[in-house]
Amino acid sequence: MTTTLPPHPPLEQYYSHPESREQFVRQIFDETAEWYDAIIGMLSFGSGNRYRYQALERAGLNAGTKLLDCATGTGVVARAALRVTKQVIGLDPSIGMLTAGRRVSSFTRVQAKAERLPFADESFDLLTVGYALRHFADLRATFEEYRRVLRPGGKVLILEITPPRTSFGRALLRFYLGNVIPFLTRLRTRNADAAKLMRYFWDTIDACVPPESILSALRDAGFESAKRHVELGVFSEYTATR
């Protein structure tokens, strides 16, 4: 029997009991959804959409690809994919994020969780996850679910931010993501929850299991050729084939 693999230990400064984590995450995304696209534009100096598109190209996206964008949020990865294929479904548990996304673009959206996908076996060619793996309850069970809905030969593409290995690099990223971005977010949105979301963003990155554990969990779930490609030292792209 394989044990569960939470992406990070409970963060008690945000919720008092581990069981409250899911509710906390749902609520903070619901309440800050209208600011999400503006915040990520600021975070990546406007390059986030281009980077997501390039990652999709590297994963082999083409006009015939049936894609599930898991944890689609407002649909940033899905929108990049729609430039190439029209067969895109976005999934997210936050009604706030789904509703904010609907105002910007139209594609099929489903309200559900990554851990329990409401799709038949072997439904998709590519499954993407943009900056959301840290919010799942258990990586192993989630990756098994991914394997189930991918057709044989189908691929998973997971985008994540990984702190640099050097203590200087980590301290720099901590200062930028943990202090500068929450401060700028507060200035831009005048919304305390949006700034809190960005602090939570860094704290989950800082506490996240290392890349080796993510790759092992993909292999444990039955994926082959699990690997990690890194851009600019911090942007991790995990890919694996069913």
Ligand X SMILES: C[S@@+](CC[C@H](N)C(=O)[O-])C[C@H]1O[C@@H](n2cnc3c(N)ncnc32)[C@H](O)[C@@H]1O
Residues forming the site for ligand X (CB under 6 A): 25, 29, 40, 70-73, 76-77, 92-94, 97, 113-115, 130-132, 135-136
Both tokens assigned to 154: 């189908």
Report in angstroms how near the CB of residue 222 gets to ligand X at its nearest. 20
State which H helix or E strand residue 171 sits in.
Answer: helix 167-175
Report in angstroms how near the CB of residue 112 gets to ligand X at its nearest. 7
Report in angstroms how near the CB of residue 204 gets to ligand X at its nearest. 10
Dist CA 237 CA 228 (whole Å): 5
Which residues, at least 6 apart from 32, have a Cβ–Cβ distance to it below 8 Å? 39, 96, 189, 191, 193, 194, 197
Both tokens assigned to 216: 């092992």
Are 115 and 137 in contact, with CB atoms under 8 Å apart?
yes
Report in angstroms how near the CB of residue 97 gets to ligand X at its nearest. 4
Both tokens assigned to 138: 């258990």
Nearer to ligand X, 115 or 122 (CB): 115
Nearer to ligand X, 99 or 241 (CB): 99
Nearer to ligand X, 70 or 126 (CB): 70
Residue 12 class from Cβ within 10 Å (0-12 exposed, 13-18 middle, 19+ buried)?
exposed
Dist CA 77 CA 135 (whole Å): 17
Nearer to ligand X, 113 or 147 (CB): 113
Nearer to ligand X, 93 or 178 (CB): 93
Report in angstroms how near the CB of residue 6 gets to ligand X at its nearest. 12
**Of the candidates 79, 94, 76, the residue with the CA atom closest to the CA atom of residue 29:** 94
State which H helix or E strand residue 152 sits in.
Answer: strand 150-161
Nearer to ligand X, 34 or 224 (CB): 34
Other beta carbons within 10 Å of 60: 12
Q: Which residue of this chain has its Cβ atom nearest to ligand X in the complex?
A: 130
Report in angstroms how near the CB of residue 89 gets to ligand X at its nearest. 13
